[in-house]
Structure 1
Amino acid sequence: MENKIIIIIGITLLIVVILLIVAGNYFYNFSLNPSVSKDAIFDNNKNSENEVVNKDETSGECKVEDMEWILNLSNYKDSYIKSFDNLRLHGYEILNYNDSHRWVITVHGYTGEGIKMGSRAKVFYEMGYNVIIPDLRGHGKSEGNYIGMGWHDRKDIIEWTNYIIKHDKNCEIVLYGISMGASTVMMTAGEEDLPSNVKAVIEDCGYTSAWDEFSYQLKFMFKLPKFPIMHAASLVTKIRSGYFLKEASAIKQVSKSNTPILFIHGDEDKFVPYFMLDKVYNAAKSKKEILIVEGAAHCKAHKINPELYWTTIKKFIDKYVN
């Protein structure tokens, strides 16, 4: 009788473990496998007011004229770097005609690609900045078979800053990102080996951590609690992509940063919820400013009030970039 109980318990535990592995892999593929997740979350994610979040809202603009602006420039070229784990990463490089030493790296969002950041990059270009628009790992023309959620991407952004410094020793660099790109630049800001050439960081609607964002979406989309699914998904992420979801924390990174940061968020953001803004802002110990755009949904602040948006950004970076 006792042996039967032990066998039943053992079989039950084995079934639970198998189910957790299956669930962990399912949510990993759903969220972090680029070949699967590109449309899944956006096709299924509806906020409480039945608003569908379009993937282009997290990645940048998708207008044909914005793409053509980059590709038709005579001073545009495709540039490449090697990542710490030997991936070939692509970026669009646009040199300004005024021999400027000002540079900006504009970072797209979740499942996006650099080419869709055209309209935002154009504004910086017109301010006199040279522009690098990376395709993050697993996106666009860059290699990679997983989405980094900003964590491994932070090292890639540092490689892009080193690329700029190699070609312009007098450069002054601004990091600008939206959505996942915003969390990426926040995570980059906390790195010890961030070059001093990086003078300012601008984040637009970034999340506190990958763990927090996926926990929020798990509850919102599937009505499921964090435990034990998030723990299983995080373990699968570590096995398949090399990082735990809690490691990808913008909160921890900004708390270590000495670089000035401008925090931007729309108060109607339901995809990366507005309440995350206070958490990252309060965690930052460096010089910091905040812009809350009333009525703006996810990545819509620049459309709801473009004058306030870009004027605030220009005033901010002019304090730190010559």
Structure 2
Amino acid sequence: MKKIIMTFVLTAVLAVSGCVLAAGYQIGNYLVEFGLMRGSSDDPMAPPRAYALLMPPGTWNYTRPDAESEEWVLESDDGLRLVATHFYPEQRAGNWAIVVHGYGCTQENSYYTAQAYLAMGYDVLTPDLRSSGKSQGTFVTMGLEESKDVVHWARRIAETQKDARIVLHGVSMGAATVMMASARDDLPSAVVATVEDCGYTSAYDLLAYQMERSFSLPAFPGMNLLDWRCERRAGFSLHQAAPIVAVSHARVPMLFIHGTKDTLVPPVMAEELYAACTTEKQLLLVPDAIHSAASQQDHDRYYKIVTDFLRGKVYE
């Protein structure tokens, strides 16, 4: 009798465990596809579906700079075709800015910042990050693989112009991307500074925060399932996309900027990043600015701080 009962209990436990595992598998896959996978049945180039809930499409699109331009193409380490636009200033001085867009966006979202750097006499490169815009890719990696691609763009500039001085300027996920790029060993010496605007401490911490705040879902076990399937489907762990670790090894000076009314990436993350940074650094908190809108909230002060921070690091 005892053997029968034990067999029944063991079978029930295994059945329940199998159901839980299967459910977790499906939930994790859904979260990866919802939050990180590009494309839809109607538009294979569309951003991940979560983007429309966090930031409605078209919110941050800007007018293309009225400047001479050309398309650049690069192949990533894993064989993706990456596309960027090189904008020429009226007078070239040897300074370059790589302006990096955020999650779910394209290089069009970099045009506002690009125009400001063009006005300062910089050549500007606006990449479509992998899995965005014209660039190939299936999954957004929250800045991890994107940071490698940005380093390759910087190396391309350094090869094109031997005396170039390059500034990396990223917004939101683009900020996470340039922070992680700034700590890479293969960063070319031509990169002289990084400006990060409203970046997060880590992809895991950000998504856990947003899972609870925006989607009313518990971070546990949702984040565990997401990260489990993310490693299998997209080939990386969300814990790896950790600018908070990168800034402690940054190879160039870093300017941190954040809006005080940012509800997507809480301002406290900027303070944590600033505290962790071990290179020359500065922190600018812009009063009343929402996510990725600090430069519009106070354009003149924003770019005065940027210009002052870059003084002595680029050609004047």
Are residues 1:252 and 2:255 paired?
no
The Cα shift of 1:113 comes to 0.5
1:176-191 alignment runs, 5 A limit: 176-191=169-184
Q: How does 1:1-322 map to 2 (within 5 A)?
A: 1-36=5-40, 38=47, 40-45=49-54, 53-56=55-58, 61-63=60-62, 66-67=63-64, 69=65, 73=67, 75-322=68-315
CA contact (8 A) 1:258 1:285 kept: no
Contact conserved, 1:34 with 1:138, CA < 8 A, in 2? yes
In structure 1, list runs of 5 or more residues that go unmatched.
Answer: 46-52
CA deviation digits over 1:110-134, x for unaligned, max 9?
1110123212101101111111000
- How far did residue 250 of structure 1 move? 0.5
Structure 2 spans left out of the alignment, 5+ residues: 41-45
Cα distance change, pair 55–135 in 1 and its aligned pair in 2 (3 A): same
Q: What residue is the counterpart of 1:49 in the other structure?
A: none
Which position in structure 1 is the counterpart of 2:43?
none
Using structure 2 for the length normalisation, give the TM-score.
0.93
User: Hey, what's the Cα distance between the residues in 2 that align with 1:212 and 1:4?
Assistant: 41
SS of 1:297 mapped into structure 2? coil
Q: How far, CA to CA, are the matches of 2:307 and 2:57 in structure 1?
A: 27
CA distance in 2, matches of 1:29, 1:257: 32
Instruction: Please tell me the residue identity of whatever aligns with 1:120.
Output: T
Do 1:175 and 1:200's aligned partners in 2 also have CA atoms closer than 8 Å?
Answer: yes
Counterparts of 1:83 and 1:100, CA distance in 2: 29
Amino acid paired to 2:37: N
Bigger Cα Rg: 2
Query: What amino acid does structure 2 have at the position aligned with 1:21?
Result: Y
Aligned-residue sequence identity (percent) comes to: 33
Q: Which runs of 4+ in 1 moved over 3 A?
A: 42-45, 53-57
Q: Counterparts of 1:18 and 1:107 in 2: how far apart (Å)?
A: 38
SS in 2 for 1:93: strand
Q: CA deviation at 1:279?
A: 1.1
CA RMSD, Structure 1 to Structure 2 (Å): 1.5
Per-residue CA deviation, residues 212-243 of structure 1 (Å, 9 max, x unaligned), is 11101111123222222211211211112211
Counterpart Cα distance in 1 of 2:108 and 2:297: 22
**Residue type of the alignment partner of 2:28:** G
Shift of 1:39: 6.4
2: CA distance, partners of 1:55 / 1:265: 22
Q: Is the 8 A contact 1:39 1:55 kept in 2?
A: no
When normalised by structure 1's length, the TM-score is 0.91
1: distance between equivalents of 2:255 and 2:242? Answer: 17
Instruction: Tell me, in whole angstroms, the C-alpha distance in 2 between the residues paired with 1:96 and 1:222.
Output: 43
